[in-house]
A and B are shown apart, each in its own frame.
Chain A
Amino acid sequence: GAVVSQHPSRVICKSGTSVKIECRSLDFQATTMFWYRQFPKQSLMLMATSNEGSKATYEQGVEKDKFLINHASLTLSTLTVTSAHPEDSSFYICSARGTEPYEQYFGPGTRLTVT
């Protein structure tokens, strides 16, 4: 299957700082990338959908000014958590979709801890 990488895998930051998470599709072009958040013992929650070259579509309840998404190329999307707070601590997972709508591959996830 296709490979999606995420960086960093773990990050600890202080409250009020910003953190950028990168998601890359390594061997295919991803026209669409998805960003999920998962709290302990809960299911995946879709935060936003981003298409290359256009603005991301955010799910209801997700603050677009707090979670900045950039999908500048067919292989890279970034999520920036601005002015992070302890309640933003979570497991953030990206996935990338290829040309076929049923092909969706997940990155390994980024565990964010805000102190």
Chain B
Amino acid sequence: GQNIDQPTEMTATEGAIVQINCTYQTSGFNGLFWYQQHAGEAPTFLSYNVLDGLEEKGRFSSFLSRSKGYSYLLLKELQMKDSASYLCAAMDSNYQLIWGAGTKLIIKP
């Protein structure tokens, strides 16, 4: 079956670095997405990886290892506004997104 696993909740300190991991199993693979979702709002796109390696975009970076079925989202210089849920989603061979349950990130001052 198809499955996405990510931690339910993480806590980090303002100014620090946090890494949110995601493992996936899908029928075929057409890329891995990370979305940010603040409470009561729709998800917003953060990153897309389809090749192995690290993609850096400002304070946020995303890594993919296709052979391991593994990705992580790295957030640096954490700010209070980064408190949100982070959703990992893998695109299968039919270009459908398979969603993880999301990781709630709590930032403490």
Residue numbers of A with Cβ under 8 A of B are 1, 34, 42-44, 46, 49, 91, 93, 97, 101-102, 104-109, 111
Contact = CB atoms under 8 A, between A and B. Distances in A.
B42 A102 contact: no
Main secondary structure on B side of the interface with A:
loop
Interface in B9-62: 30-31, 33, 35, 40-45, 48, 50
B31 A93 contact: no
A44 B48 contact: no
Nearest to A94: B42
A16 to B, nearest CB: 27
A46 to B, nearest CB: 8
Contacts, number: 43
B87 interface: yes
Given A101-B95, A102-B91, A1 B45 contact: yes
Contact of A106 (B42, B91, B102): B42
Contact of B87 (A1, A44, A97, A104): A44
Q: How large is the interface on B (under 10, 10 to 19, 20 to 34, 35 or more residues)?
A: 20 to 34
B3 interface: no
Contacts of B43: 44, 93, 106
B84 interface: no
